[in-house]
Amino acid sequence: MKTIGLIGGMSWESTQVYYRILNEKMKEKLGGSHSCECILYSVDFAEVERLQHEGNWDALARQLTDIAIKLQAAGAELILIGTNTMHKNFDTIQKQVDAPLLHIADTAADAIVEQRMKRVGLIGTRFTMEQDFYADRLRDHGIEVVIPDVKARMAIHEVIFFELTKGIISDVSRRKLQNIVDNLEKKGAEGVVLGCTELPMLLDQQHSRLPLFDTTRLHAEAAVNAALRKHP
């Protein structure tokens, strides 16, 4: 079993879900009392959130690179960035460490391709929806991406930062996001990527006619599979 390094705290609400899935999946794979060998570095999300909204991605890249280096030095053989948005800095971080990083959008793409879908909706922070770093990664797998309109993008962004990262679960917000997902279906989406690790706290498959791709679970489960693989 390889040791997994997890860069978490973005937010800790979803990081605890990562930890649970990593251990549940490892037990499922190996049985008995097995659990996941992992090292967690959890950041102060207030600082990350501030830098994101200031657009200071270079400072964030330096911060996460330093963390990845520390995780590798501590023994991590595989590294996860436990947030969709910060995969904006994925390539910069990977260049500075030998331990492979597992890209969260690649794990989503694998699940989408497995279901033979060609066009999906993407919801997440405004950074994830409006910038190219995430959608381009999906397009590299031959997947077309559609996003909500401006008003809907702002609504999702506010639900994430004002509610979900603080552990607030609102039925009103759930219905709002359900309507946004329904509108993505009207745009031709065959499924929807929950491109924020907090979104599965609010939406799961019972809330949507369309297949939902839970990136938190997909990322964590792919990490367990990679950790058990004898050869990368």
Specify the pLDDT at position 232. 42
Q: Is 38 an active-site residue? A: no
Residues 6+ positions from 211 with CB-CB distance below 8 Å? 115, 117, 190, 191, 192, 205
Instruction: Annotate 121-155 with three-state secondary structure.
Output: EEEECHHHHHCHHHHHHHHCCCCEEECCCHHHHHH
Helix axes 104-114, 132-139, angle to 10 degrees: 40
Among candidate residues 3, 36, 38, 83, the one labeled active-site is 83
Q: What is the mean pLDDT of the chain?
A: 96
Annotated catalytic residue: which of 165, 196, 197, 215? 196
Phi, psi of 130 (to 5 degrees): -95, -25
Convert the pLDDT of each residue in 64-121 to its tens digit.
999 999 999 999 999 999 999 999 999 999 999 999 999 999 999 999 999 999 999 9
83 is catalytic: yes
Structure confidence at residue 229 as a pLDDT band (50, 70, 90): confident
